[in-house]
Amino acid sequence: MHSFLVAAFLATIFAASTEATSCNATSHCPASAPCCSEFGFCGTNDFCLGGCNPFASNAVNSCRPDPICTDKTHTFADNSRILSNATFFDGNASAYDWVVDKGNIMNTNSSGGELALLLTQANGGTRISSTRYLHYGTVTAKIKTGRWAGVVTAFITMSDIKDEIDWEFPGAATTEGQTNYFWQGVIPTGKNNGGTSTGLTDTFTNYHSYTIDWQPDALTFSIDGGVVRTVKKSDTVNATTGIAQYPTTPARVQLSLWPAGISSSPPGTVTWAGGMINWDDPDYKSAGHFYALVKEVDVKCANLQTGPNLTSYVYDANATSNSPVVDYTNRSTLLNGAGPVVALGGAQNMIVLVTSLFVLFFHVL
Ligand SMILES: *[C@@H]1O[C@H](CO)[C@@H](O)[C@H](O)[C@H]1NC(C)=O
Ligand SMILES: *[C@@H]1O[C@H](CO)[C@@H](O)[C@H](O)[C@H]1NC(C)=O
Ligand SMILES: *[C@@H]1O[C@H](CO)[C@@H](O)[C@H](O)[C@H]1NC(C)=O
Ligand SMILES: *[C@@H]1O[C@H](CO)[C@@H](O)[C@H](O)[C@H]1NC(C)=O
Ligand SMILES: *[C@@H]1O[C@H](CO)[C@@H](O)[C@H](O)[C@H]1NC(C)=O
Ligand SMILES: *[C@@H]1O[C@H](CO)[C@@H](O)[C@H](O)[C@H]1NC(C)=O
Ligand SMILES: *[C@@H]1O[C@H](CO)[C@@H](O)[C@H](O)[C@H]1NC(C)=O
Ligand SMILES: *[C@@H]1O[C@H](CO)[C@@H](O)[C@H](O)[C@H]1NC(C)=O
């Protein structure tokens, strides 16, 4: 990161004065701080970018439009396509493919370059998010997971209203991968509970390709090209409400390595993760961190509409959270681009982001 950015950021921290305003689907943001961040706090600027929740913001169109999906095979010969601090992102998805939301990354020179996501006792884990969203598509991540109890690797898609599709790897079980999906933050109960694929060659020492194939009618999970689980949208319809509890809204790709086995985690999460992290583990002691490696992320878009100048997805002004409608538009995704959100006065909210990152960062089962 450039030092002038650090200076600018510090200045904003010291200038911070306003209280955090929280937001949710029943308590929307005020016009003065119109955007509800993924962490549930109102603000401007980067609060209006990735993760901004349209149904908790001041208006459905308060968030900046979501950058549209483009096909790309992301490789990591170096980290030039990764913005090292998401706080400084301006919404230009042509400038960066990924932002670091939290934590630290490294690049290795092994086999043409690998992105390492680091977990230390001090950093509390690392997460990167794609700058572009996808509205259906196929995403394959070639990764080596972290290992040991309490250390969890995740490769997921996450929408602004928390439609989520997961591959998760508890580090105490390096011969399996777990799959899950959420509809608007709710994990559908009953027959659609999570799946576990077993019998993999060690996921820490071996690269495997994990695929999320998310289509309008079905969701398919694969490992190394072999289908391990399929969820049909028609099988997710809630008998009481008649609503399909199936992810339908544009989502970012996120990769993370996070500490589930720590004392602040709920007991169920610690158990699921295989226990508490041993910070005296020889792996950790010798490297100075736990790590997961990302070799490649392949994104193939399944955009439902095509057109000459489409740049973004927006939630339709008439949409409700029960029936979100996604429009494809040519509107700018930039903070200073044309559109209803005027980016000003965001500085006082940065301290809120910093606080919320630490408190609310990771989605906990
Ligand atoms: C929404 O936010 C308001 C104001 O902070 C709070 O009182 C309310 O409990 C929240 N509702 C939910 C469902 O979290
Ligand atoms: C690869 O290794 C060379 C030589 O050690 C080093 O100069 C370079 O920075 C490394 N590149 C990355 C991306 O780590
Ligand atoms: C967005 O980034 C691209 C690539 O760096 C650059 O060419 C373009 O000028 C940027 N657009 C704006 C509006 O800043
Ligand atoms: C972004 O920069 C701020 C200020 O330096 C820092 O507090 C925060 O942890 C950084 N985030 C990341 C992901 O490095
Ligand atoms: C169906 O919806 C009802 C009402 O929202 C909810 O209580 C129930 O848990 C849902 N069923 C499933 C299987 O998610
Ligand atoms: C963007 O879309 C609007 C409405 O569909 C259209 O009038 C306008 O010409 C488009 N602009 C570009 C640059 O495509
Ligand atoms: C696409 O953008 C170009 C350049 O701005 C414009 O000439 C053209 O009319 C646009 N096409 C549509 C369908 O909006
Ligand atoms: C929203 O609904 C109103 C009234 O039905 C309609 O006139 C308008 O075109 C709709 N807007 C959009 C963006 O669909």
Catalytic choice (19, 164, 176, 296)? 164
The domain in which residue 175 lies consists of: 67-301
Task: Please check whether residue 86 lies inside any domain of the structure.
Answer: yes
In whole angstroms, what is the distance from residue 127 CA to residue 49 CA?
Answer: 16
Cα dist. 347→10, 32, 44, 132, 326 in Å? 10, 13, 8, 24, 30
Residues 75 and 39 in one domain: no
| Ramachandran assignment for 190, one of left (phi > 0), alpha (psi -120 to 50 degrees), beta (any other) | left
Domain count, the chain: 2
Residues 112 and 236 in one domain: yes
Pocket test for ligand 2, best of 109, 115, 118, 293 (most atoms within 8 A of CB): 109
Pocket test for ligand 3, best of 92, 312, 333, 336 (most atoms within 8 A of CB): 92
Cα dihedral 261→264→268→273 (10° resolution): -10
What is residue 19's predicted lDDT score, i.e. its pLDDT?
A: 56
38 is catalytic: no
Residues 113 and 257 in one domain: yes
Catalytic choice (38, 114, 168, 296)? 168
Q: How far apart are the CA of 258 and the centre of ligand 8, in A?
A: 43
Q: Domain holding 220: CATH number?
A: 2.60.120.200
Residues 122 and 246 in one domain: yes
Ligand nearest to the CA of 36: 1
Task: Please check whether residue 328 lies inside any domain of the structure.
Answer: no
Q: How far apart are the CA of 328 and the centre of ligand 7, in A?
A: 15
Residues 98 and 234 in one domain: yes
Residues 188 and 294 in one domain: yes
pLDDT at 8 over 60: no
114 is catalytic: no
Q: What band does 357 get if pLDDT is binned at 50, 70 and 90?
A: very low
Residues 145 and 55 in one domain: no
Q: What tens digit of pLDDT does each residue of 318-353 get?
A: 887 788 999 999 999 999 876 544 333 333 333 333
Residues 93 and 22 in one domain: no
Residues 137 and 57 in one domain: no
Task: Please check whether residue 320 lies inside any domain of the structure.
Answer: no
Helix (H) or strand (E) holding 356: helix 350-360
- Paired tokens of 93: 């998805």
Q: How far apart are the CA of 109 and the centre of ligand 2, in A?
A: 6
DSSP codes joined into one string, 228-291: EEEEEGGGGB-TTT--B-S--S-EEEEEEEEE-SSTTS-HHHHHHTTS---TT-HHHHHHSSEE
Residues 187 and 209 in one domain: yes
Q: What tens digit of pLDDT does each residue of 254-291 get?
A: 999 999 999 999 999 999 999 999 999 999 999 999 99
In whole angstroms, what is the distance from residue 334 CA to residue 275 CA?
Answer: 43
305 C-beta closer than 6 A to ligand 6: no
